[in-house]
Structure 1
Amino acid sequence: MQVYPNRFAQELQSGLKPCYLIFGDEPQQKFDMIQRIRDRAREAGFDERTVLVADKEFSWNQLLDATQAMSLFSDKKLIELELPTGKPGTEGSKVLQEVASGLSSDTLLLVHGPRIGKDVQKGKWFKVLDAIGVHSLCYPLEGKQLHSWIQEQLTHHQLRVSPAGIRLIAEFCEGNLLAAKQEIDKLSLLYPAASIDESQLEAAMVDQSRFNVFQLIDVMLNGEQQRCVKMLYRLESEGIEPNILIWALIREWQTLWTLKQQQQNGETVQWQRHGIWRNRQGFYQAALSRLTLENLSHIREQLQLADFQFKQQTIARPFIKLCHLCMLFLGVPLTHLPLLVGHDA
């Protein structure tokens, strides 16, 4: 059964299900739901908690052992299984189906991971677990949904803010729920259970937007030049490793190159085959409409050079080079502009 994140707390009040499936790439909603499950499980006597991560070193026998072993410390236990890729693989799928059929009333299973597509949701393991439990998918919030979420957080803290003030919070945090929650928590300490006007908000809030690499990629693909530069600046100030960004840019180039060749050959783009779901297809369509194969060939040369420089040399200001690369993806004509990125930059 699917339950939307904004209805999840209400769902838990009706009683615990044997299994919960929490997936998505919006960390604050995801963390909130997982924490609510932990709290509710503790209240219900699930005092033992086992955490498993299905990485390359993981043995699925660990999950079987965890569900079958008797606890020395508690009659009930919560088992948390993280799927880093969102998919358990063939062996994992079989084990999860076996676990679903044998879950006892003293074992609660929580499976979580990143964003998943319809292919995963149609998998047998997902269906059998969902049939005895609940699944919820967390997506970034925008517009009215974002404003509603901010309003819920303010109400929880007994804070009263006008619609204009809610828009101000959303603008400061640019859709980042973690940053928004931090600001609202801070406001609750400064103005406990009070009405807060826009001038007080502006005085109290600091622009502490937090951006991740994937958000940067989407903004870049969508052609938003000013926002892309701002996000790069933020990532630099947060100490993000430049090689992570180079890896992300190379990966996006490979995807764009494949999609562009398919377009040139008159083929129908199979978006899901490339792991591109409907909410991100517009970003790629925007990039493909402004970038030619010649543009992409030039970007490839620049990425190869940058990758070598970052791995073999010490670059004084790597984010200048990263900005240059992003500008090429944005279609800005920089071919003939010199760029110094070495020790004397």
Structure 2
Amino acid sequence: MKIQREALEKTFRAQPHGLYWISGDEPLLNIESADLLRRLAKDSGYLERERYVMEHNSDWEPIMASVGTLSLFASQKFIDIQFNAKFNDKFKAAMAYLVEQRDDQTLIVLSTTKVEASATKAKWFNSIEQHATHLPIWPIKSDEFKQWIVTRLESEQLAIEDDALAILAQRTEGNLLAASQEISALKLLDSDGILTAEKILEATADSARYDAFQLIEHALKGDISAAIRALNGLRGEGTEPIIVLSAIAANIRQLMAVKKLLAARSANDAELKRLGIFFNRVHLMREAAKRLTAVSLKMALEYCASADEAIKTSQTDYAWHQLEKLSLLLSGMMPEEVS
């Protein structure tokens, strides 16, 4: 069955299921959902945990052999699987086996990338979803991002003024992981629980996420050298590449939307603001969309996918190499010059 993220804990406590499948491309929500299931599993007596990170050609035999085998240390065990590849035949066969062999003594949590719409119509997928609990993670929409920040702040006993909220949303550019990190930092710094614009500016002035924001600003202005300096600075400071990638990808999607508006001669300020572009970036995004070609933006998306795959398979150097290509493309270099 399919459930929403908000119903996960209630559904689990009502009746723990044999197999939970978390799918999606929103890192923070994926991680937090898996963490919640781990806590719930431990509280419910699944004390022995087995952890597997699976790739395209990984051998599923150890996992399949473990299902149905009595635990040596506890009456119940928890199998935690991270799958970092496309849904190939080995994956489908393993999932069919795990669904068939599931029992009350073993809890399986599977984390994967999102399930494409075409896959949801396939027989193998419907068979799994019918017998497992599927938790699809959907990205937070741009018009929902501010409310997500407010809700997150409230969970930390923090309130925020409207101007401060606009700045924090702009700085984090729809990146939930970056926003969560900023909120954690703000909680440590704030004393009275009310965040003002001045506090946000002071607290984030030197943060890595702010540098990522500056990287994108330099690139969209066509300043190649400044963009590459910012990128190298981020890498040198130990910034997670997923934070940079998420920020760049969000801007690419906005640029493509602006380009469509330009073609329809409707790229006015109001339309751009409806895309989640803040007033002080409207002119920058409009001019960048005019300058960048459709071919460049399409190739940028391909580099995003390549960087994302590299991050998920722990190829960090290659991920940063793809981020460099992205920075060059957004700065105005032609695709043939970058590749």
Is the TM-score greater than 0.5? yes
What do the CA deviations read for 1:296-322 (whole angstroms, capped 9, x no partner)? 9xxxxxxxxxxxxxxxxxxxxx99987
Q: How does 1:41-56 map to 2 (within 5 A)?
A: 41-56=41-56
Residue 310 of structure 2 corresponds to which residue in structure 1?
none
Task: Provide the rounded CA distance (Å) in 2 between the counterparts of 1:141 and 1:228.
Answer: 31
Instruction: Say whether 1:147 aligns with 2:146.
Output: yes
Structure 1 residue 115, shift from structure 2 partner: 2.7
The change in CA–CA distance for 1:322 and 1:76 in structure 2 (over 3 A counts) is: closer
Task: Provide the rounded CA distance (Å) in 2 between the counterparts of 1:209 and 1:21.
Answer: 31
Residue 98 of structure 1 corresponds to which residue in structure 2?
97
Task: Provide the rounded CA distance (Å) in 2 between the counterparts of 1:95 and 1:175.
Answer: 35
Moved more, 104-113 or 200-209: 200-209
Mapped contact 1:176–1:209 kept (Cα < 8 A): no
Structure 1 residue 18, shift from structure 2 partner: 2.0
Residue 205 of structure 1 corresponds to which residue in structure 2?
204
Between the two proteins, what is the percent identity of the paired residues?
Answer: 21
Task: Provide the rounded CA distance (Å) in 1 between the counterparts of 2:92 and 2:8.
Answer: 26
Task: Provide the rounded CA distance (Å) in 2 between the counterparts of 1:236 and 1:291.
Answer: 27
Residue 290 of structure 1 corresponds to which residue in structure 2?
293
Residue 83 of structure 2 corresponds to which residue in structure 1?
83
In the alignment, structure 2 segments of 5+ residues that lack a partner are: 246-288, 300-321
The change in CA–CA distance for 1:161 and 1:41 in structure 2 (over 3 A counts) is: same
Task: Provide the rounded CA distance (Å) in 2 between the counterparts of 1:100 and 1:228.
Answer: 53
Instruction: Say whether 1:116 aligns with 2:118.
Output: no
Structure 1 residue 86, shift from structure 2 partner: 3.8
So what's the TM-score if we normalise by structure 1? 0.62
Residue 257 of structure 2 corresponds to which residue in structure 1?
none
Instruction: Specify the structure having the higher radius of gyration (Cα).
Output: 1
Task: Provide the rounded CA distance (Å) in 2 between the counterparts of 1:56 and 1:319.
Answer: 23
Instruction: Say whether 1:225 aligns with 2:182.
Output: no
The change in CA–CA distance for 1:202 and 1:6 in structure 2 (over 3 A counts) is: farther
Give the match's secondary structure for 1:112.
strand
Task: Provide the rounded CA distance (Å) in 2 between the counterparts of 1:320 and 1:97.
Answer: 40
Residue 66 of structure 1 corresponds to which residue in structure 2?
66
The change in CA–CA distance for 1:322 and 1:43 in structure 2 (over 3 A counts) is: closer
Output the amino acid matched with 2:163: A
Residue 18 of structure 1 corresponds to which residue in structure 2?
18
Task: Provide the rounded CA distance (Å) in 1 between the counterparts of 2:222 and 2:6.
Answer: 29
Task: Provide the rounded CA distance (Å) in 2 between the counterparts of 1:157 and 1:21.
Answer: 28
Mapped contact 1:3–1:134 kept (Cα < 8 A): yes
Output the amino acid matched with 1:160: A
Structure 1 residue 239, shift from structure 2 partner: 2.2
Q: How does 1:179-258 map to 2 (within 5 A)?
A: 179-191=178-190, 194-206=193-205, 207-209=207-209, 225-226=220-221, 234-239=230-235
Task: Provide the rounded CA distance (Å) in 1 between the counterparts of 2:174 and 2:66.
Answer: 38
How well do the aligned residues superpose, as a CA RMSD in angstroms? 4.0
So what's the TM-score if we normalise by structure 2? 0.63
Structure 1 residue 37, shift from structure 2 partner: 0.6
